[in-house]
Amino acid sequence: MQIYIGNLPAAVTEAETAALFTPFGAVVSVRLVHDPLSGKSRGFGFVEMASEEEAARAIAALANSSFGGKTLRVNTARPANPRPPCDTW
């Protein structure tokens, strides 16, 4: 199950994010989003947990918790909205 995690500190790594979620179950993958031009963190990412039960425990425990001096937003990830092709290039 995919989990959205927002308001991440800029310097956080994928390994640190995985360690944050590991006490609640098996972490399948972590993907932090970075700006394609600067390479800087955009402050959010996605964590995939092995089961819905583990994901629900992680969401309940980590939503609005403090991490690196910031209050995290943690919830079930929504499917991405498809964007129409850009013809202005």
Measured CA to CA, the distance from residue 78 to residue 25 in angstroms comes to 21
Q: Per-residue pLDDT for 5 more than 70? A: yes
Does residue 19 belong to any structural domain of this protein?
Answer: yes
**Facing residues of 73 across strands?**
6
- The pLDDT, as a whole number, for residue 82 is 78
Residue 81: inside a domain, yes or no? no
pLDDT value at position 28? 97
Cβ contact 18:27 at 8 Å = yes
Query: For residue 40, what is the domain's CATH number?
Result: 3.30.70.330
Q: What pTM was estimated for this model as a whole?
A: 0.86
How many domains does the chain divide into? 1
pLDDT at 11 over 70: yes
Whether 47 and 12 have beta carbons less than 8 Å apart is answered as: no
Query: Burial code of 12-45, b = ≥16 C-beta within 10 A, e = fewer?
Result: beeeebeebbeebbebeebebeeeeeeeebebeb
**pLDDT digit string, tens, across residues 44-75:** 999 999 999 999 999 999 999 999 999 999 99
User: 87 in a domain, yes or no?
Assistant: no
| pLDDT (tens digit per residue) in 17-46 | 999 999 999 999 999 999 989 989 999 999
Q: What is the pLDDT of residue 80?
A: 77
